[in-house]
Amino acid sequence: MSIDIRVNEKEKEIFFSLRTLNSEYQMKADGFGVLRHIWYGEITERDMDYLLLRPDVGFSGSIYEAGNQRDYSLDTMPLEYPCGGVGDYRVPAVKVTHSNGSSALDLRYKSHNVIKGKYKIPSLPAVYAEESEAETLEITLGDTASDTEVVLRYGVLGDKDIITRSAEIRNGGEKEIFVGKAASLCLELPQGKWDWIHFHGRHAMERQTERAPLFHGIQESASLRGTSSHQQNPSFIICSPDCGERHGECYGAFFVYSGSFSTQIEYDQLEQTRAVMGINPDLFGWHLMGGESFYTPEAVMTYSGGGLGALSRNFHKIIRENICRGKYKLSERPVLINNWEATYFDFDGEKILRIAEEAAKMGVDMLVLDDGWFGKRNDDCSGLGDWFVNEKKLKGGLGKLAEKIKGLGLKFGIWFEPEMVSEDSELYRAHPDWAIAIPGRKPTRARYQLVLDMSRKDVRDYLYDSISKILRSADISYVKWDANRSICDLYSAELPPERQRELSHRYVLGLYELLERLTKEFPEVLFEGCSGGGGRFDAGMLYYCPQIWCSDDTDAYERTKIQYGTSFIYPVSAVGSHISVVPNHQTGRITPMESRAVTAMAGSFGYELDPNSLSDYEKGLVSQQIQSFKKYAPLIHNGKYYRLSDPLRDNYALWEFASEDRSEALIQGMIFRKVPNMKRISVRAEGLSPDGIYRIEGREGTFTGKALMCGGILIEDMWGDYKAVEIHIVREG
Ligand code: GLA
């Protein structure tokens, strides 16, 4: 596992190989200095550059130096960081306009460098690693006709089968250049037919899984909403048509970024596939003065020759161990109760205390006070921005309330929506120019609110001061960081006209800076991300918040599909998931308490209800659920995660957590619809030791791991719809 570089003096070529445990990435700077992609896939023990032979294709021209070598065309060859304007007509990774108005780059190899450890990216979240765990390859390319340089950085985390990418665009000249596109990743796939898996959705229906064969031309998944969005997720998988959970080839990538993004996948004239992922160029542009650099956010890739399950587990591990940070990165999360669905805006201190009292009796660890505790906030039309306690609702303030809650044995958490402002607020009246709006145009309102200009230092300082004041005013252990609208009307009162296209990215940089300051200042506080549920569920946010409220949809049945899609990229520990009452507030559906529990357990577990409305029987169930969650929490969060069904196709959703040492596994899920004379459902376990002897809790006899993995486990017949499944498998010998 390493970075291997070989120079072929005769051909004037430099060959680069990046090896991980189960994959190899090959590229070469050829005799013309063009950095060509060769291979990403299985370790073949061979340079794969024989694959680079291309036919002479009409209308695909050659670089000047190639003379009459007509089959040498940028338009047909796989490239590491393609640029528009000089003969490659496919999706480019970078676009630059020079001071003379021309828009072309012709990047050629200049130098390379291998560094121990993992590179960092200024002002942006990225995979971090011990020096012994990672290596960095830097390849510097230079334009043939200007002083523009691009440094490509590859981070190799060999044991984790991960390769990361980021680029630095440098203006080495004196005159300003304009960067119109700066992608983080260009991934060229071996020629052939591929399926594309991506995750689309809408509010309360995030990350629905869609899989389709690539068609000729460009297909795109993207966000122009200023956030990564409910509608598309900044991640993708490309797999062989036969690829399933346990077999087949697949490539995946996710973006460590929380703003507008674009993933374009082009299936070209030669049936070659190129995927380009980065900041969405439609909302981007950056003026780079002489001597300045622009750094792209990071993209993280993995390859699996053993199906989608292994690909997801690679991602789960890297996100948990090398992206999430802080006290709660790997430790157990508190079981929380959130008052949102219990009270909405209609609460006072007494009501909150009554919820806390009952919750404490049932074994809950923390009460989270949601929206409505601050300013003038009795509905969603006012108050955002006024981050001081509403003493009419909470007599004696937050300190008193937190003390009483602590007295019950619970921790106390609180909701903020820092990036937003209501027009009916003291903040807006004092600083109307802090809201994003275009002069002369009425801004779009969404949930009746506007967005603060996070690119401004004065805005960030105000937020830092007011949030930290609140966090110091009471014993607060948790913050839910919400953002309840998409961003538009892009204009910053502080930026000159020619830099307005920078706002979208500057907003994200500002958000990250504020999060960095606050998470550093309050290392004991657990931050949970949120954006109307999972509208900003991405690895950028997970760098600051180890968990994110997965969806405003708490209906257990719908949640199995949302969490299924989420699981392709993100680990269970990142998924905020709560049990709420029935009929469900989003769908009116009635599901049994047990099914709501197993679904919420596949996440960072909690409740979203008023325990005073539960019967004694239900309260008993809640106590049992909490005990059982605590028993299983280490297995759930540290174990390997397996998808055992496709809930979009099957009549059930089943998943499994298996311990790394194969001593224990837990299968959970739900059978959706009961029919008469139902055929038996059997499910094949995963991650056991084939020769191990296992017992299934509550059942007679023992089984070999092989039997359970090949023959499967019969699911007991059940009466009624949406019935919960829970199978605990323990190794005995
Ligand atoms: C968003 C969140 C909810 C809740 C409300 C409060 O919709 O996703 O969980 O916090 O805001 O307004």
Is the C-beta atom of 568 inside 6 A of ligand 1? no
Minimum CA distance residue for ligand 1 atom 7: 532
- 481 within ligand 1 shell (Cβ under 6 A): no
Query: In sequence order, what DSSP letters do the residues of 460-515 get, joined into one string?
Result: HHHHHHHHHHHHHHTT--EEEE---S---S---TTS-GGGGGGHHHHHHHHHHHHH
pLDDT at 397: 96
Residue whose Cα lies nearest atom 3 of ligand 1: it is 532
Asked if the model's pLDDT at residue 96 lies above 90, the reply is yes
Based on the residue annotation, tell me whether 75 is a catalytic residue of this protein. no
DSSP 8-state class, residue 382: B
Structure tokens at 439: 């002069």
**Average of per-residue pLDDT across 311-339:** 97
Backbone angles phi, psi at 451, to 5 degrees: -110, 135
Q: Is the peptide bond before 439 cis (omega within 30 degrees of 0)?
A: no
Q: Which two tokens stand for residue 623?
A: 């106590």
Our CA angle for 422, 423, 427, nearest 5°, is 75
pLDDT of res. 333: 97
As to burial, measured by CB atoms within 10 angstroms (0-12 exposed, 13-18 middle, 19+ buried), residue 174 is exposed
pLDDT band at 234 (very low <50, low <70, confident <90, very high): very high
Strand pairing class (693-696; 702-704):
antiparallel
Mean pLDDT of 455-476: 98
> What pLDDT score does 470 carry?
98
DSSP three-state, residue 573: helix
Domains along the chain with CATH numbers: 3-322 (2.70.98.60), 652-731 (2.60.40.1180)
Global pTM value = 0.98
Q: How confident is the model at residue 84 (pLDDT cuts 50, 70, 90)?
A: confident
707: Cβ contacts below 8 Å, ≥ 6 apart? none
Per-residue pLDDT at 132:
97
Q: What is the pLDDT of residue 190?
A: 87
On average, the pLDDT of the chain sits at: 97
Q: Provide, rounded to the nearest whole percent, the portion of the chain with pLDDT above 70.
A: 100
Q: How far is the CA of 343 from the centre of ligand 1 (A)?
A: 12
Q: 């630095």: which residue's tokens? A: 168
Q: Are 275 and 334 in contact (CB under 8 A)?
A: no
Residue type, 215: F
Residue 245 to residue 176: CA distance in whole angstroms: 49
Report the pLDDT value the prediction gives residue 521, as an integer from 0 to 100: 98
Q: Which among 230, 479, 482, 537 is the best mutation to test ligand 1's pocket, defined by most ligand atoms within 8 Å of the CB?
A: 482
* Minimal-distance CA residue to ligand 1 atom 12: 371
Tokens 């039997």 -> residue: 707
CB 585 within 8 A of CB 614: no
Mutating to test ligand 1, I would choose from 203, 230, 340 the residue with most ligand atoms within 8 A of its C-beta, which is: 340
pLDDT digits (tens, 9 = 90+) for 177-224: 999 999 999 999 989 999 999 999 999 999 999 999 999 999 999 999
40 CB within 6 A, ligand 1: no
Mean per-residue pLDDT, 213-239:
98
Q: Using one digit for the tens of pLDDT, what is the confidence trace for 356-379?
A: 999 999 999 999 999 999 999 999
User: In one letter, which amino acid is 260?
Assistant: S
HSE at residue 8, side-chain half, CA atoms within 13 A, is 14
Q: Measure 395 CA to ligand 1 centroid, in angstroms.
A: 23
Q: Which of 538, 552, 594, 664 is catalytic?
A: 538
Q: How many CA atoms lie within 13 A of 728 on its CB side?
A: 10
Report how far residue 572's alpha carbon sits from residue 231's, in angstroms, rounded to the nearest whole number: 21
Q: Can you tell me the distance from the alpha carbon of 15 to that of 132, in angstroms, rounded to the nearest whole number?
A: 24
Neighbour tally for 86: CB within 10 Å: 19
359, 578 Cβ separation under 8 angstroms: no
CB 607 within 8 A of CB 359: yes
Q: How far apart are CA 413 and CA 460, in angstroms?
A: 22
Contact 634, 642 (CB under 8 A): no
Atom index in ligand 1 nearest the CA of residue 533 equals 8
Cα end-to-end distance, the chain, whole Å? 34
Contact status, residue 78 vs residue 40, Cβ threshold 8 Å: no
Active site annotation includes 553: no
Catalytic residue (choose from 321, 618, 721, 726)? 618
pLDDT of residue 1 exceeding 90: no
- Report helix, strand or coil for 450: strand
